[in-house]
Structure 1
Amino acid sequence: MVYRGKPSTGCKKCRQRKIKCDERPGGCLKCSDRGYNCPGYDDPLDRLFQNESARVESKAKKANEKAIELRSEREFKIQSRKAIIKIQDAIGSPLLCPLIDQGIAFFMMNYTIGLDQPPLQSVSYNRHLASHGFHPVIANAMTALGLSGIGNIYNDFNYQREASRWYLKALKMTNDALASPTEAKSDNTLLATMLLSNFEATSNGTSLAGFLNHINGSSTLLCLRGKQQFATPAGRRMYMQTVGVLTMMQMGRGDPLPDYVHRLNQESAKYEDMNDPGDQFYHLQIETIDFRAQIIHEEITDLYAILEKALAIDVKGQRILDALREAWCYESVRVEPNTPSVFGDTYHIYPSLDAAQKWNWVRYNLIYIHDVIRNTLLMGFSSRPPVFTGERFARLLQESTEMLYDMQYGILASIPQHLYDTPKSFSEITLPTVTSPDKPRYFWSNFNETPAGDKPNMEVQDRLPIVRISGGYSSMWALYIAGATPIASPESQEYILTSFKRIKAEFGINQAQVLAGMLRLRMQLDASGLIPMAIAPRYIPFGQHLDPEEVEST
């Protein structure tokens, strides 16, 4: 209670009007003259003291809200200034420059390893000066992907919105190019579809539908382009990159590679170096996917035949592993058990992103094969009478199971370097890695890269960026397979789900969220006993096919 001093004895109406009241009994004259109904007079004793708690509390609450608002405004201005500096550092140019400049600058700094371009004095070099020397459809796709990368990493809605707008422009230009018999066969159009698929991987966190649609479009263009596409370095490179992503899609569907890929591979082989582990792996994965499709479609059912074919493919895979050990050696680092961000007691350090990707490509393909070997043996042992008997087959089962765990462990050991939980090189080993909090981090940037360069080439007719394979995201697929293989433990799956969550949060790669959702669904189905035993297991939990409609429905 608060003492208010001697109160006024006038009526409430006069006090509200702030005029002197004559205090006539029964009602004052001031109210009567105005035609008011005089409210009467309060007891002076009741007005000597007044409970001010509610008013004081309300006043304090308003003052606190105002202080919070002012503090938030100051913090927002500080964070905005920091964000502007970060983004300017990321794109290498001021934010006042046009969006196309910002998007292309970010794209070239982070999504490419080099540039194919014609000689400076050629007509081709100066054909598209208005769009930084790139064909407009490429420039629009690069801008969309670059702005999306900025928006996702810095969680900036404005950049994400602008990225979507440029994506729609690039999509329309790509569709217009597809309607032209000449433009549809150009390197620019194929690269545009590849960049659009990378945009979906970066920005779409709810579905694989858009990503798969663009992969379908790219693969259709391979058939349309025919043998002529191998005339340029860019054409040969994009062909192998597209087929590589197509094999992942066909694995999910359980279908073989299209016939036209096998026909075109005969022409592609003329330009390959079969001593290169990358070229060897390219053919291994095609053979593996086609073999799995034969099993799934019951074109081959004899357990002995399946086992012998799988063992023959495994021999080829082991040869590639041996070649990788010589050409792309990595370092294994032992740590204490339960070290944060490390699964088990070992992590790997790779000399480059290319090396890490190639190792993981071979690993998940050997998981494909050894899942087939192990399941074939288990079915043979459990049949009545047993199909397989004897020490040889028991030994094969043990070796195959050990290989599965080894390949899975190798994939998981490669993830800390992607997530900045290791240094770039063996000589700098420290856990955790110390990095500047203001420096942008990307899924691929904790590797010592060897740029492909941008030397002028007389064969090149268009200025084309040399894009990282699968946008640099292919290790995410290896991570998913490591969690979807039947031998995966709950602990390894939990590590994988945590890694996907970090990839989404720290690097803005929204497809990690989709893959995490797929893995959770598979884990739920497996726990419910709804995933049947199969020689060639279905890693994707969508019935018989990996189609955009089925992916969308999840």
Structure 2
Amino acid sequence: MVYTGKPSRGCGMCKSRRIKCDEKRPTCGNCKKSARKCPGYPDEFDLVFRDENKAMARKARKTSGSAPSRSCTGGSSSHASPYLSPNAIFDLQSEASSLQLASTSRPRTLSGHSSDGELIHFTQEMQKPLPLDQIFDFQSFAWNIEVPATITMPPEYEAVPFFFKNFITLPQQAESTRGFLEYLVPLYNRARSSSVLHLATTAVAMATCGQYPGRQELLRNAVSTYGKALKKLNDDLQDPVMSKSDETVLAILMFSLYETIMSTDDTITAWGQHVDGAVTLTKLRGTDQFNDEMSHAIFRAVRTMMITSCVQRSKPVDDFPGVKGWIGNGEFNEENVANRLTLICIDLPSLRARANNLTKTPHDPNNELEAKQILEVAQMVDDNLAEWYVTLPSEWKHSTIGVVSEMPALEDLAITEKWPGEQHIYNDVPLASIVNDYRVCRIFCRRVMMACINWLSIGGITENEREYNQSVYVIQQMVDDVSACVPFHLDYELQVVAKSMGQEQNAAEAFGGYSLVWPLYVAANAESVPQAQRDWLFGRLSVIGTKFGLSSAQVLVLARRHVLTCGPIGSSRVP
């Protein structure tokens, strides 16, 4: 691929009229003023991956066919000196170019290629200087050079910018920042091009773009780059300074994202190992990391991932070597809204582990106290979650844009886009994802309570029947709210912020779909929900997989790992 200039992002109508497009969305200003139908804008992905060789060839033919002959009196001052040979002039020009020309001892022709098809060569006859009465026309000379078709941009030059534009550099409110992708840009710009963070980011970018139809060749490059990144990480871990740097910790978190996107047979184990590695380094960094704003932010991101991993594996959270543990050096109220949700859920891993251990054993009166204590803790966490939601800023709350009243036929559940009831939209997908994580947490707490109540009822204790019915009600309410936001996540036209920022449609809908997988998975596995609604939720999971090229295994991994949005909970079932 060769570069032929900045591509036009204007609408098709403005291109055909050869006028400048203001690129307003959904309809450009020119089409609106002239009452023309705006055909829309070119796909961002196609612009990035466009083939410019044909355009280059057309321009070369046009120039060579129309170039007039020149005399010494009619020449421009921009012409090269007649005392320089064409080869010498090209050498001077190439000093400012990123292309490097190499020589070889084998005979060459102007249009001939080397054995590897990557170098431009000239014959020895062209070394002779031009007659003194002839002006050399460099432009005609340059346009007549045959450019080998194998000159292409490295795949990372295409994938990385697309990844950053459509998945990383999207605007996000300070109160909703909680994951690790928000800090990728400053640390990426600070790191060297050969750093483990650059390699890890490139691997993730190519793995992401490789999921697009027709871009599967990028997956091979992703695997190769991932291997190089792992080798570089092993080298950096031997360095006492680099091993504790923000760059290294963030690179490890990027590895976990790569494993989720690729979803290989070893993903389940590798994902947990990467999270454990980031937690280990974070503990080694100690309380000194709280003195730096960026390091403290990375600490919070690792904390969120750790809770996800611990809940998934029913593993209690490891202690952090500090006075306040994983709360850090601040106060709960000093955390932003998203991180307060994470801290509310920090006891959920140990709560789940205790509940699993209890309910897997036969009823024993000696363990009734343990069951009641679990109930008490789960109730406390659920109350804190309810209070968190009540105190949310108004812009975090949903808006109702319609109500669906007709119940779909059972045979149509798999293809029905909307579940009956209210239909909700949000300010943007990241906010909707955090609110959905709140719902997932409440579903989790209430299911723990229901399991303990069932276990106690075996021994004849029925005093918690009212709380059991309340749990069924809360779970249904949370599942209904998750169902109501599905169209918003999957429909670009409903995502106002994504459209206003010019985010590519496929990327926006893919991001919305990926962030919806986890709440759909948890909601569909809630036994108290009607079977028809559970079938519809599983059908939406299938649609996401089909639309965005994900296998069933990849959808399951996305659901269980939930790393794209870094939610506070793992799976709703014991692995």
What is the deviation of 1:227? 1.6
Partner amino acid, structure 2, of 1:396:
E
The alignment status of 1:388 with 2:388, answered yes or no, reads: no
Q: Give distance in 2, aligned partners of 1:182 and 1:300.
A: 49
- Tell me which of 534, 556, 564 is aligned to 1:515: 556
What are the Cα deviations for residues 294-349 of structure 1, in whole angstroms up to 9, with x where unaligned? Answer: 33345975233332222222211110111236451111331243473122333321
Partner of 2:224: 165
Q: Is the 8 A contact 1:144 1:167 kept in 2?
A: yes
What is the deviation of 1:363? 1.0
Q: Give distance in 2, aligned partners of 1:172 and 1:357.
A: 34
What is the deviation of 1:439? 4.5
Q: Is the 8 A contact 1:500 1:516 kept in 2?
A: no
Partner of 2:545: 504
Change (3 A) 1:158 1:283: same
Partner of 2:199: 140
Change (3 A) 1:344 1:221: farther
The alignment status of 1:374 with 2:450, answered yes or no, reads: yes
Partner amino acid, structure 1, of 2:300:
M
Q: Is the 8 A contact 1:91 1:106 kept in 2?
A: no
Over aligned residues, Cα RMSD in angstroms?
3.8
- Tell me which of 310, 318, 334 is aligned to 2:386: 318
Q: Is the 8 A contact 1:294 1:300 kept in 2?
A: no
Q: Give distance in 2, aligned partners of 1:331 and 1:313.
A: 27
State the structure with bigger RCO (CA 8 A, min sep 6), 1 or 2. 1
Q: Is the 8 A contact 1:244 1:282 kept in 2?
A: yes
Q: Give distance in 2, aligned partners of 1:271 and 1:477.
A: 29
SS at match of 2:391: helix
Change (3 A) 1:264 1:107: farther
Change (3 A) 1:538 1:335: closer
Partner amino acid, structure 1, of 2:523:
A
The alignment status of 1:87 with 2:45, answered yes or no, reads: yes
Q: Give distance in 2, aligned partners of 1:368 and 1:153.
A: 34
What are the Cα deviations for residues 487-518 of structure 1, in whole angstroms up to 9, with x where unaligned? Answer: 24433333333323333333345686351899
SS at match of 1:347: strand
- Tell me which of 90, 94, 100 is aligned to 2:156: 100
SS at match of 2:406: coil
The alignment status of 1:481 with 2:439, answered yes or no, reads: no
Partner of 1:337: 406
What is the deviation of 1:85? 7.0
SS at match of 1:346: strand
- Tell me which of 112, 115, 140 is aligned to 2:168: 112
Q: Is the 8 A contact 2:304 2:342 kept in 1?
A: yes
The alignment status of 1:156 with 2:210, answered yes or no, reads: no
Partner of 1:545: none
Partner of 1:456: none
What is the deviation of 1:246? 2.0
- Tell me which of 491, 494, 510 is aligned to 1:423: 494
Q: Give distance in 2, aligned partners of 1:172 and 1:264.
A: 35
Q: How does 1:405-444 map to 2 (within 5 A)?
A: 405-420=476-491, 423-425=494-496, 439-443=505-509
Q: Give distance in 2, aligned partners of 1:196 and 1:538.
A: 20
What are the Cα deviations for residues 209-254 of structure 1, in whole angstroms up to 9, with x where unaligned? Answer: 3322222222222212222223333322222222222222211221
Aligned residues, how many?
397
Q: Give distance in 1, aligned partners of 2:438 and 2:260.
A: 22
What are the Cα deviations for residues 86-135 of structure 1, in whole angstroms up to 9, with x where unaligned? Answer: 5343579979433232232122112313776999xxxx999767x3xxx6
What are the Cα deviations for residues 30-84 of structure 1, in whole angstroms up to 9, with x where unaligned? Answer: xxxxxxxxxxxxxxxxxxxxxxxxxxxxxxxxxxxxxxxxxxxxxxxxxxxxxx9
Partner amino acid, structure 1, of 2:169:
I
Change (3 A) 1:312 1:487: same
| Structure 2 residue ranges without an equivalent (≥5) | 1-41, 54-151, 171-181, 359-365, 409-415, 561-569
The alignment status of 1:308 with 2:266, answered yes or no, reads: no
Q: Is the 8 A contact 1:203 1:510 kept in 2?
A: no
What is the deviation of 1:403? 0.2
Partner amino acid, structure 2, of 1:411:
V
Partner amino acid, structure 1, of 2:381:
I
Q: Give distance in 1, aligned partners of 2:476 and 2:188.
A: 51
- Tell me which of 275, 293, 296 is aligned to 2:356: 296
Partner of 1:71: none
Q: How does 1:46-57 map to 2 (within 5 A)?
A: none
What is the deviation of 1:186? 0.4
Partner of 2:278: 218
Partner amino acid, structure 2, of 1:222:
T
What is the deviation of 1:401? 0.8
Partner of 2:34: none
Q: Give distance in 1, aligned partners of 2:542 and 2:325.
A: 38
Change (3 A) 1:481 1:225: same
Q: Give distance in 1, aligned partners of 2:198 and 2:50.
A: 17
Q: Is the 8 A contact 1:418 1:443 kept in 2?
A: yes
Which shifted more, 405-414 or 263-272? 263-272
* Structure number with bigger Rg: 1
Which shifted more, 497-506 or 261-270? 261-270
| Structure 1 residue ranges without an equivalent (≥5) | 1-83, 447-471, 520-536, 543-554
TM-score for both structures, normalised by structure 2: 0.61
SS at match of 2:287: helix
- Tell me which of 238, 244, 248 is aligned to 1:189: 248
Change (3 A) 1:233 1:395: same
Q: Give distance in 2, aligned partners of 1:355 and 1:293.
A: 29
Partner of 1:242: 302
